[in-house]
Amino acid sequence: MTIAGTQEYALNMGPQHPSTHGVFRMVVHLDGEVVTKVEPKIGYLHRGLEKMAESRTYTQFIPYTDRLDYLAGPHNSLGYVQAVEKLMDLEVPERAEYLRVIFAELGRIASHLVMIASGSLDICGWTPWSYCFRDRERILDLFEMTAGNRMTPNYFRIGGVSHDVPDEFWPALQSFLDDLPENMEEYFGIFFGNEIAQARMKSVGILPKELAENLLITGANLRASGVKYDVRKAEPYSIYDRFEFDIPVLYGCDTYDRHLLRLLEIQESRKILLQALRDIPTGPVMAKVSKVIKPPAGRVYHRVENPKGEMGWYLVSNGTTKPARVRIRTGAFVNVQMLSEIIAGWKIQDLVTIFASMDLVLGEVDK
Protein backbone atom coordinates (compact mmCIF):
# COMPACT_ATOMS: atom_id res chain seq x y z
CA MET A 1 0.00 0.00 0.00
CA THR A 2 1.39 3.41 -0.87
CA ILE A 3 0.83 6.34 1.42
CA ALA A 4 -0.03 9.52 -0.41
CA GLY A 5 2.33 12.36 0.52
CA THR A 6 1.02 15.85 1.10
CA GLN A 7 1.43 18.31 -1.71
CA GLU A 8 1.63 22.04 -1.55
CA TYR A 9 -1.70 23.72 -1.76
CA ALA A 10 -2.33 27.33 -2.75
CA LEU A 11 -5.27 28.93 -1.01
CA ASN A 12 -6.73 32.28 -1.96
CA MET A 13 -7.67 34.16 1.17
CA GLY A 14 -9.65 37.31 0.59
CA PRO A 15 -10.36 39.86 -0.70
CA GLN A 16 -13.78 39.36 0.92
CA HIS A 17 -12.68 37.58 4.05
CA PRO A 18 -13.64 38.87 7.51
CA SER A 19 -10.17 38.42 8.96
CA THR A 20 -8.48 40.48 6.27
CA HIS A 21 -9.90 43.71 7.74
CA GLY A 22 -11.01 45.11 4.42
CA VAL A 23 -10.22 43.98 0.93
CA PHE A 24 -6.82 42.39 1.30
CA ARG A 25 -6.09 39.27 -0.69
CA MET A 26 -3.30 36.84 -0.05
CA VAL A 27 -2.28 33.65 -1.77
CA VAL A 28 -1.36 31.29 1.04
CA HIS A 29 0.85 28.33 0.19
CA LEU A 30 0.15 25.50 2.57
CA ASP A 31 1.84 22.26 3.41
CA GLY A 32 -0.93 20.53 5.30
CA GLU A 33 -1.83 23.12 7.88
CA VAL A 34 1.54 24.84 7.91
CA VAL A 35 2.03 28.01 5.91
CA THR A 36 5.10 27.95 3.71
CA LYS A 37 4.68 31.22 1.84
CA VAL A 38 2.27 34.13 1.58
CA GLU A 39 1.99 36.43 -1.40
CA PRO A 40 0.07 39.61 -0.59
CA LYS A 41 -2.06 40.92 -3.46
CA ILE A 42 -3.19 44.46 -2.91
CA GLY A 43 -4.93 47.13 -4.94
CA TYR A 44 -8.60 46.25 -4.44
CA LEU A 45 -9.22 49.62 -2.83
CA HIS A 46 -6.85 51.63 -5.01
CA ARG A 47 -8.47 54.97 -5.77
CA GLY A 48 -5.50 56.78 -7.25
CA LEU A 49 -5.43 59.49 -4.60
CA GLU A 50 -2.02 60.77 -5.73
CA LYS A 51 -3.32 61.27 -9.26
CA MET A 52 -6.53 62.88 -8.01
CA ALA A 53 -4.53 65.37 -5.99
CA GLU A 54 -2.87 66.71 -9.13
CA SER A 55 -6.17 67.78 -10.65
CA ARG A 56 -7.54 69.42 -7.52
CA THR A 57 -6.60 72.54 -5.62
CA TYR A 58 -4.78 72.25 -2.31
CA THR A 59 -7.97 72.84 -0.33
CA GLN A 60 -10.10 70.49 -2.37
CA PHE A 61 -7.82 67.58 -1.55
CA ILE A 62 -8.28 67.77 2.26
CA PRO A 63 -11.46 65.58 2.40
CA TYR A 64 -9.69 62.83 0.46
CA THR A 65 -6.89 62.62 3.02
CA ASP A 66 -9.37 61.51 5.70
CA ARG A 67 -10.11 58.47 3.60
CA LEU A 68 -6.59 57.09 3.69
CA ASP A 69 -6.66 55.64 7.17
CA TYR A 70 -10.37 55.89 7.72
CA LEU A 71 -10.14 54.59 11.28
CA ALA A 72 -8.12 57.63 12.33
CA GLY A 73 -9.12 60.29 9.85
CA PRO A 74 -7.77 63.44 11.56
CA HIS A 75 -4.14 62.36 11.66
CA ASN A 76 -3.90 61.98 7.88
CA SER A 77 -5.29 65.46 7.31
CA LEU A 78 -2.88 66.80 9.92
CA GLY A 79 0.09 65.59 7.89
CA TYR A 80 -1.27 67.06 4.69
CA VAL A 81 -2.29 70.49 5.96
CA GLN A 82 0.99 70.85 7.83
CA ALA A 83 2.98 70.00 4.70
CA VAL A 84 1.10 72.73 2.80
CA GLU A 85 1.62 75.16 5.67
CA LYS A 86 5.34 74.39 5.63
CA LEU A 87 5.43 75.22 1.93
CA MET A 88 3.58 78.48 2.53
CA ASP A 89 5.46 79.28 5.75
CA LEU A 90 2.16 79.79 7.54
CA GLU A 91 1.71 80.33 11.26
CA VAL A 92 -1.30 78.55 12.83
CA PRO A 93 -3.15 80.04 15.86
CA GLU A 94 -2.46 78.42 19.22
CA ARG A 95 -5.98 77.24 19.85
CA ALA A 96 -6.12 75.56 16.46
CA GLU A 97 -2.88 73.69 17.21
CA TYR A 98 -4.36 72.38 20.46
CA LEU A 99 -7.60 71.37 18.77
CA ARG A 100 -5.60 69.56 16.11
CA VAL A 101 -3.63 67.61 18.69
CA ILE A 102 -6.82 66.75 20.57
CA PHE A 103 -8.44 65.40 17.40
CA ALA A 104 -5.34 63.59 16.25
CA GLU A 105 -4.91 61.83 19.59
CA LEU A 106 -8.61 60.96 19.82
CA GLY A 107 -8.22 59.42 16.38
CA ARG A 108 -5.24 57.44 17.61
CA ILE A 109 -7.21 56.05 20.55
CA ALA A 110 -10.11 55.16 18.24
CA SER A 111 -7.77 53.38 15.82
CA HIS A 112 -6.01 51.43 18.55
CA LEU A 113 -9.34 50.42 20.06
CA VAL A 114 -10.42 49.00 16.72
CA MET A 115 -7.12 47.18 16.45
CA ILE A 116 -7.46 45.54 19.86
CA ALA A 117 -11.12 44.78 19.21
CA SER A 118 -10.59 43.14 15.84
CA GLY A 119 -7.51 41.36 17.11
CA SER A 120 -9.59 39.72 19.79
CA LEU A 121 -12.42 39.03 17.37
CA ASP A 122 -10.00 37.18 15.12
CA ILE A 123 -9.35 34.70 17.89
CA CYS A 124 -13.08 34.48 18.67
CA GLY A 125 -13.16 36.88 21.61
CA TRP A 126 -16.48 38.63 21.17
CA THR A 127 -16.73 40.44 24.49
CA PRO A 128 -13.50 42.50 24.26
CA TRP A 129 -14.70 43.60 20.85
CA SER A 130 -17.95 44.97 22.25
CA TYR A 131 -16.12 46.72 25.10
CA CYS A 132 -13.69 48.46 22.75
CA PHE A 133 -16.39 49.50 20.32
CA ARG A 134 -18.52 50.83 23.16
CA ASP A 135 -15.75 53.26 24.08
CA ARG A 136 -14.77 54.07 20.51
CA GLU A 137 -18.35 55.13 19.94
CA ARG A 138 -17.84 57.98 22.42
CA ILE A 139 -14.91 59.29 20.38
CA LEU A 140 -16.96 59.11 17.21
CA ASP A 141 -19.70 61.06 18.99
CA LEU A 142 -17.16 63.76 19.78
CA PHE A 143 -16.19 63.91 16.10
CA GLU A 144 -19.83 64.01 15.09
CA MET A 145 -20.84 66.85 17.39
CA THR A 146 -17.94 68.93 16.05
CA ALA A 147 -17.71 68.17 12.37
CA GLY A 148 -20.89 66.26 11.55
CA ASN A 149 -18.99 63.22 10.33
CA ARG A 150 -18.19 60.26 12.49
CA MET A 151 -15.16 58.65 10.91
CA THR A 152 -13.88 61.17 8.41
CA PRO A 153 -14.43 64.51 10.12
CA ASN A 154 -12.71 66.72 7.49
CA TYR A 155 -12.13 69.21 10.29
CA PHE A 156 -8.68 70.61 9.54
CA ARG A 157 -8.04 73.44 7.13
CA ILE A 158 -4.89 74.96 5.74
CA GLY A 159 -4.21 77.57 8.43
CA GLY A 160 -6.23 76.09 11.30
CA VAL A 161 -9.44 74.19 11.81
CA SER A 162 -12.79 74.86 10.17
CA HIS A 163 -14.60 76.07 13.30
CA ASP A 164 -14.42 75.90 17.06
CA VAL A 165 -15.83 72.90 18.91
CA PRO A 166 -19.30 73.18 20.50
CA ASP A 167 -19.63 73.80 24.25
CA GLU A 168 -20.85 70.29 25.00
CA PHE A 169 -17.59 68.90 23.57
CA TRP A 170 -15.51 69.65 26.67
CA PRO A 171 -17.59 67.87 29.35
CA ALA A 172 -18.02 64.89 27.02
CA LEU A 173 -14.26 64.69 26.43
CA GLN A 174 -13.52 65.06 30.14
CA SER A 175 -15.90 62.28 31.11
CA PHE A 176 -14.46 60.03 28.40
CA LEU A 177 -10.93 60.59 29.71
CA ASP A 178 -12.11 60.03 33.31
CA ASP A 179 -13.59 56.66 32.40
CA LEU A 180 -10.69 55.54 30.25
CA PRO A 181 -8.38 54.08 32.98
CA GLU A 182 -11.17 51.87 34.26
CA ASN A 183 -12.06 50.80 30.74
CA MET A 184 -8.44 49.97 30.02
CA GLU A 185 -8.36 47.72 33.04
CA GLU A 186 -11.34 45.94 31.58
CA TYR A 187 -9.60 45.41 28.24
CA PHE A 188 -6.57 44.16 30.04
CA GLY A 189 -8.49 41.78 32.23
CA ILE A 190 -10.68 40.36 29.55
CA PHE A 191 -8.24 40.19 26.65
CA PHE A 192 -4.58 40.67 27.52
CA GLY A 193 -4.77 38.81 30.80
CA ASN A 194 -6.82 36.03 29.28
CA GLU A 195 -5.02 32.72 29.25
CA ILE A 196 -6.35 31.62 25.86
CA ALA A 197 -5.45 34.93 24.25
CA GLN A 198 -1.94 34.71 25.67
CA ALA A 199 -1.52 31.16 24.45
CA ARG A 200 -2.58 32.19 20.98
CA MET A 201 -0.40 35.30 20.80
CA LYS A 202 2.72 34.96 22.92
CA SER A 203 5.88 34.04 20.96
CA VAL A 204 3.87 33.92 17.74
CA GLY A 205 5.09 35.77 14.64
CA ILE A 206 8.46 37.01 15.82
CA LEU A 207 9.73 40.09 14.00
CA PRO A 208 13.35 40.63 15.06
CA LYS A 209 14.66 44.16 15.40
CA GLU A 210 17.20 43.93 12.55
CA LEU A 211 14.62 42.52 10.14
CA ALA A 212 12.13 45.21 11.13
CA GLU A 213 14.63 47.96 10.36
CA ASN A 214 15.67 46.36 7.10
CA LEU A 215 12.02 46.04 6.06
CA LEU A 216 11.50 49.74 6.85
CA ILE A 217 8.74 48.94 9.35
CA THR A 218 7.52 51.99 11.24
CA GLY A 219 5.10 52.85 13.99
CA ALA A 220 3.92 50.59 16.77
CA ASN A 221 5.13 47.46 14.97
CA LEU A 222 8.70 48.79 15.12
CA ARG A 223 8.37 49.79 18.75
CA ALA A 224 7.10 46.33 19.66
CA SER A 225 10.37 45.01 18.22
CA GLY A 226 12.43 47.03 20.65
CA VAL A 227 13.20 50.24 18.73
CA LYS A 228 12.37 53.40 20.62
CA TYR A 229 11.41 55.70 17.81
CA ASP A 230 8.44 57.99 17.48
CA VAL A 231 8.26 60.99 15.14
CA ARG A 232 6.37 62.94 17.78
CA LYS A 233 9.57 62.88 19.85
CA ALA A 234 12.27 62.54 17.21
CA GLU A 235 11.02 65.36 15.02
CA PRO A 236 8.21 67.08 16.90
CA TYR A 237 5.55 68.54 14.64
CA SER A 238 2.59 70.72 15.62
CA ILE A 239 2.96 71.30 19.38
CA TYR A 240 3.92 67.80 20.47
CA ASP A 241 7.12 69.13 22.06
CA ARG A 242 5.03 70.83 24.76
CA PHE A 243 3.53 67.68 26.19
CA GLU A 244 5.04 65.21 28.58
CA PHE A 245 4.53 61.64 27.45
CA ASP A 246 6.56 58.49 27.07
CA ILE A 247 7.15 56.27 24.07
CA PRO A 248 6.20 52.75 25.12
CA VAL A 249 8.64 50.11 23.88
CA LEU A 250 8.33 46.35 24.17
CA TYR A 251 10.98 43.78 23.42
CA GLY A 252 8.96 40.63 22.83
CA CYS A 253 8.74 41.19 19.03
CA ASP A 254 5.67 38.91 19.00
CA THR A 255 1.97 39.24 18.29
CA TYR A 256 1.10 39.73 21.95
CA ASP A 257 3.48 42.67 22.34
CA ARG A 258 2.24 44.30 19.18
CA HIS A 259 -1.27 44.22 20.64
CA LEU A 260 -0.18 45.29 24.12
CA LEU A 261 1.81 48.22 22.77
CA ARG A 262 -1.39 49.74 21.40
CA LEU A 263 -2.94 49.58 24.84
CA LEU A 264 0.08 51.36 26.33
CA GLU A 265 -0.13 54.00 23.61
CA ILE A 266 -3.74 54.71 24.51
CA GLN A 267 -2.49 55.51 28.00
CA GLU A 268 0.08 57.97 26.62
CA SER A 269 -2.49 59.58 24.33
CA ARG A 270 -4.68 60.10 27.38
CA LYS A 271 -1.81 61.95 29.08
CA ILE A 272 -1.45 64.24 26.07
CA LEU A 273 -5.20 64.87 25.95
CA LEU A 274 -5.36 65.77 29.65
CA GLN A 275 -2.51 68.27 29.24
CA ALA A 276 -4.09 69.75 26.13
CA LEU A 277 -7.40 70.04 27.94
CA ARG A 278 -5.67 71.88 30.79
CA ASP A 279 -3.59 74.26 28.65
CA ILE A 280 -5.81 75.10 25.69
CA PRO A 281 -5.97 78.89 25.24
CA THR A 282 -8.85 80.90 23.87
CA GLY A 283 -8.57 82.79 20.63
CA PRO A 284 -9.10 82.38 16.91
CA VAL A 285 -8.97 78.93 15.30
CA MET A 286 -8.04 80.01 11.80
CA ALA A 287 -5.11 82.05 10.51
CA LYS A 288 -5.60 84.74 7.90
CA VAL A 289 -5.26 82.78 4.70
CA SER A 290 -6.15 84.05 1.25
CA LYS A 291 -9.06 82.37 -0.47
CA VAL A 292 -6.84 81.11 -3.28
CA ILE A 293 -4.01 79.02 -1.93
CA LYS A 294 -0.90 79.35 -4.06
CA PRO A 295 2.22 78.12 -2.28
CA PRO A 296 5.56 79.27 -3.71
CA ALA A 297 7.46 76.76 -5.84
CA GLY A 298 9.34 74.28 -3.70
CA ARG A 299 9.52 70.80 -2.29
CA VAL A 300 8.71 69.62 1.18
CA TYR A 301 8.67 66.27 2.90
CA HIS A 302 6.67 66.22 6.09
CA ARG A 303 6.13 63.17 8.23
CA VAL A 304 3.76 62.44 11.05
CA GLU A 305 3.28 59.52 13.39
CA ASN A 306 0.06 57.91 12.25
CA PRO A 307 -1.53 55.21 14.41
CA LYS A 308 -0.65 52.69 11.68
CA GLY A 309 2.93 53.79 11.10
CA GLU A 310 4.74 56.82 9.83
CA MET A 311 3.04 58.83 7.15
CA GLY A 312 5.11 61.01 4.85
CA TRP A 313 3.81 63.73 2.57
CA TYR A 314 6.10 64.81 -0.25
CA LEU A 315 4.59 67.87 -1.89
CA VAL A 316 6.03 69.57 -4.94
CA SER A 317 4.61 72.95 -5.76
CA ASN A 318 5.18 74.74 -9.05
CA GLY A 319 3.66 77.99 -7.85
CA THR A 320 0.15 77.34 -9.18
CA THR A 321 -3.07 76.56 -7.36
CA LYS A 322 -2.68 72.83 -7.96
CA PRO A 323 0.16 70.68 -6.67
CA ALA A 324 2.64 69.28 -9.21
CA ARG A 325 3.01 66.12 -7.19
CA VAL A 326 1.55 64.77 -3.99
CA ARG A 327 3.32 61.68 -2.80
CA ILE A 328 1.82 59.82 0.13
CA ARG A 329 4.06 57.42 2.00
CA THR A 330 1.80 55.39 4.22
CA GLY A 331 2.99 53.25 7.06
CA ALA A 332 0.62 50.37 6.47
CA PHE A 333 1.67 49.97 2.83
CA VAL A 334 5.30 49.36 3.79
CA ASN A 335 4.35 47.31 6.84
CA VAL A 336 2.48 44.77 4.67
CA GLN A 337 5.85 43.37 3.65
CA MET A 338 6.53 41.92 7.06
CA LEU A 339 3.76 39.36 6.61
CA SER A 340 5.52 37.26 3.98
CA GLU A 341 8.83 37.53 5.85
CA ILE A 342 7.71 36.22 9.22
CA ILE A 343 4.93 33.83 8.29
CA ALA A 344 6.83 30.72 7.18
CA GLY A 345 6.31 27.81 9.55
CA TRP A 346 3.21 29.11 11.34
CA LYS A 347 -0.17 27.45 11.08
CA ILE A 348 -3.08 28.94 9.26
CA GLN A 349 -4.82 30.08 12.44
CA ASP A 350 -1.64 31.92 13.44
CA LEU A 351 -1.69 33.68 10.10
CA VAL A 352 -4.96 35.33 11.13
CA THR A 353 -3.53 36.52 14.45
CA ILE A 354 -0.27 37.74 12.94
CA PHE A 355 -2.18 39.59 10.28
CA ALA A 356 -4.34 41.25 12.93
CA SER A 357 -1.27 42.30 14.90
CA MET A 358 0.13 44.21 11.92
CA ASP A 359 -2.82 46.58 12.17
CA LEU A 360 -3.41 47.30 8.51
CA VAL A 361 -6.19 49.38 7.14
CA LEU A 362 -6.69 48.90 3.45
CA GLY A 363 -7.57 52.50 2.78
CA GLU A 364 -4.01 53.31 3.69
CA VAL A 365 -2.40 50.32 2.01
CA ASP A 366 -4.13 50.90 -1.32
CA LYS A 367 -4.37 54.68 -1.30
Residues found near other proteins in the complex (CB under 8 A): 42-43, 46, 48, 50-51, 55, 86-87, 211, 213-217, 227, 229, 234-235, 298-301, 303, 310, 312, 314, 316, 325, 327, 329, 333-334, 336-337, 341, 366-367
Alpha-carbon gap, residue 61 to 54, rounded angstroms: 9
User: Cα(163)–Cα(254) distance, rounded to whole angstroms?
Assistant: 43
Judged by beta carbon, residue 141 or residue 213, the one nearer other proteins is: 213
CB 107 within 8 A of CB 73: yes
Q: For other proteins, which is the closer residue by CB, 211 or 286?
A: 211
- Residue pair 117/21 in contact by the 8 Å Cβ criterion: no
Instruction: Report the residue number, 145 or 324, with the smaller CB distance to other proteins.
Output: 324
Containing 112, the helix (H) or strand (E) segment is helix 94-122
Q: How far is the CB of 114 from other proteins (least distance, A)?
A: 24
Half-sphere exposure of 171 (CA within 13 A, CB side): 2
Report the nearest approach of other proteins to the CB of residue 73 (Å). Answer: 22
Q: Nearest to residue 255, comparing CAs of 365, 109, 116? A: 116
- Which residue, 194 or 306, is less far from other proteins as judged by CB? 306
At 304, give phi and psi (nearest 5°): -130, 160
CB 106 within 8 A of CB 142: yes
- Name the minimum Å distance from CB 319 to other proteins: 14
For the CB of residue 135, give the shortest distance to other proteins in the complex, in Å. 32
Cα(330)–Cα(367) distance, integer angstroms: 8
Find the shortest distance in angstroms from Cβ 46 to other proteins: 4
Nearer to other proteins, 44 or 70 (CB): 44
Using CA atoms, how far apart are residues 212 and 224, in angstroms rounded to an integer?
10
**343-349: long-range contacts at Cβ-Cβ below 8 A with a sequence spacing of 24 or more?**
343/35, 343/37, 343/38, 343/205, 344/35, 344/36, 344/37, 345/34, 345/35, 346/34, 346/35, 346/204, 346/205, 347/33, 347/34, 347/35, 348/28, 348/30, 348/33, 348/35, 349/200
Amino acid at 225: S
- Nearest Cα to Cα of residue 266 among 202, 180, 194, 152: 180
Minimal distance, residue 298 CB to other proteins, in Å: 6
Of 87 and 356, which CB lies nearer to other proteins in the complex structure?
Answer: 87
**How many Cβ atoms from other residues are within 10 Å of residue 16's Cβ?**
10
Residue 224 Cβ, how far from other proteins at the closest point, in Å? 14
Min dist CB 45 to other proteins, Å, is 9
* Closer residue to other proteins in complex, CB, 334/354: 334
95/329 with CB nearer other proteins: 329
Do the Cβ atoms of 208 and 253 come closer than 8 Å? Answer: yes
Q: Closest approach of Cβ 125 to other proteins, in Å?
A: 31
Nearest to other proteins of 101, 334 (CB atom): 334
What's the closest the beta carbon of residue 299 comes to other proteins, in angstroms?
5
User: Of 32 and 43, which has the nearer Cβ to other proteins?
Assistant: 43
From the CB of residue 8, how many other CB atoms can be counted at a distance below 10 Å? 10
Backbone φ and ψ of 314, nearest 5°: -105, 110
